[in-house]
Amino acid sequence: MNGQTLLNAAHIIMAVCALLSTAALYSAYVIAESLSLGGVLISHIALIIFPAIFKLGYILRLVALKHLGRPVD
């Protein structure tokens, strides 16, 4: 796979997971009273899953940068 394509995919994964984590955080703690128990449960589970996928996206970013020969920061 092309390094630039890999880098773009990593950035998209990180951005989407950051937005979804923020939405899960909002629904788990701010509007929890208006959600059902299942909704709150899903929000709390999402608070574990989305940051983990974000971290995988960051690792993918590091691999892409190394493949492109750019400095890894």
pLDDT one-digit tens code per residue, 24-68: 999 999 999 999 999 999 999 999 999 999 999 999 999 999 999
Tell me whether residue 60 is in a domain: yes
Helices first, then strands: H and E counts in the chain: 2, 0
The pLDDT-based confidence of 1 (bands split at 50, 70, 90) is confident
Tell me whether residue 26 is in a domain: yes
Cβ-contact 34, 68 below 8 angstroms = no
Tell me whether residue 73 is in a domain: no
Please report, for residues 14, 22, 57, 68, the alpha-carbon distance to residue 9 in angstroms, rounded to integers and kept in the order given: 9, 20, 8, 14
- Specify the number of domains making up the chain: 1
DSSP state of 35: S
The pLDDT-based confidence of 73 (bands split at 50, 70, 90) is confident
Tell me whether residue 12 is in a domain: yes
Tell me whether residue 23 is in a domain: yes
pLDDT at residue 30, rounded to an integer: 97
Output the pTM of the full model. Answer: 0.93
Return d(Cα 9, Cα 3) in angstroms, integer: 10
DSSP state of 69: T
pLDDT at residue 35, rounded to an integer: 96
Tell me whether residue 25 is in a domain: yes
Domain that holds residue 37: 3-68
Mean pLDDT (whole number) for 1-30: 97
